[in-house]
A = this chain, B = another copy of it.
Amino acid sequence: MIPYCSICWEDNKVRLLDQRLLPQEELYLEITDYHDIIEAIRTLAIRGAPAIGVAAAMGAALGALALKTEDPEEFKKSFAAICQEIAAARPTAVNLFWALNRMQDVVKAHPAEPVAALQERLVREAQVILKEDDTTNRHLAQHGQVVIKDGDQVLTHCNTGALATGAYGTALGVMRAAWEAGKRFSVWVDETRPLLQGARLTTWELGKIGIPYTLIPDGAAAALMQKGRVNVIIVGADRIAANGDTANKIGTYSLAVLAQYHGVPFYVAAPFSTFDFSLADGLQIPVEERAPEEVTRFRREILAPSGAQALNLAFDVTPNELITGIITEKGIARQPLISDIKYLRSAKD
């Protein structure tokens, strides 16, 4: 059992591990106001597409609890406004919108209920979303662990562990399942500039699980592939278009091109809720541009001259043809991705 949780619901409060302070400090925030959930998502106190989904649902539940009206119509209107406000926290991870839609569906499905009953349902739904996320991740990890062989050197980018999800992890969950199945391998961890989720979070999680890892600067991944020291690459996803094009942390597309050049299999691991079937391809995925200061400074240290211009694209989009397979809770979609995705979409869990 991993001795930490990224987010949970306790006694009508959200308890959330502040990931900005990791690995130096393990501080849990106790949040009762949904505005603080928005702030936590915006500032990356909680991040990772599935975890953002859970946080959004719990934020919506907090918002619902705080509504003082007893008029169901007024409640529905105010609740919709709260969901809209939470939806604006970050633009790329589709799980955010998916989770909020699920919360709004609860309200829509029970038009005749009094406010107190709706509030109770919403609190329960947020916890169901968390629980399902855990189950989903464990299923996808079981499907995915076949891509790791004993003795492999696995490479990953950003953080996709229990911190990035409700509980188990996606790409890192795949590694965890392979490890728990008794396979022995090691992991190259891309530090993942600018916010160093690899250096700060993935190393921390792999250390807790006990999987050996080596941290590298993002620019070193190519040299390791050139030397034949990478057997498989597994990353997460923030949004996947209907054709398999995948938005993920900046630097992912770079790895995918390098993987193809070196003949290294490149896998994306994500729950089905990461698919946005309203988008035919990745060109339409909105990519968040964050503050340049995340590039020009790190905590107390200034990394560039004052006034330096910087571009901080939070994500990039990897086209489907560079992806060996997408690992989901329903199985692995392989090339040609489009038909496999269609098949899995229609399949039972």
Interface membership of A226, Cβ < 8 A: yes
**A–B pairs, 20, beta carbons within 8 Å:** A23-B304, A23-B305, A191-B295, A191-B303, A193-B219, A204-B305, A215-B295, A215-B308, A218-B219, A219-B254, A220-B250, A221-B254, A222-B253, A222-B257, A223-B313, A223-B316, A226-B317, A258-B258, A260-B261, A299-B301
Closest to A296 in B: B215
Residues of chain B within 8 A of A193, CB atoms compared: 191, 193, 217-219
Shortest beta-carbon distance from A202 to chain B in Å: 10
Interface membership of A90, Cβ < 8 A: no
Residues of A within 8 A of B (CB): 23-24, 157, 190-194, 196, 199-200, 203-204, 207, 212-223, 226, 250-251, 253-254, 257-258, 260-261, 292, 295-296, 298-313, 316-317
Shortest beta-carbon distance from A41 to chain B in Å: 22
Residues of chain B within 8 A of A251, CB atoms compared: 217-220, 222
The complex is assembled from copies of this chain, and their number is 2
Shortest beta-carbon distance from A73 to chain B in Å: 46
A218 to B311, CA, bound (A): 11
Q: Do A196 and B311 touch (CB < 8 A)?
A: no
Residues of chain B within 8 A of A304, CB atoms compared: 23, 191, 196, 199-200, 203, 215
Shortest beta-carbon distance from A200 to chain B in Å: 7
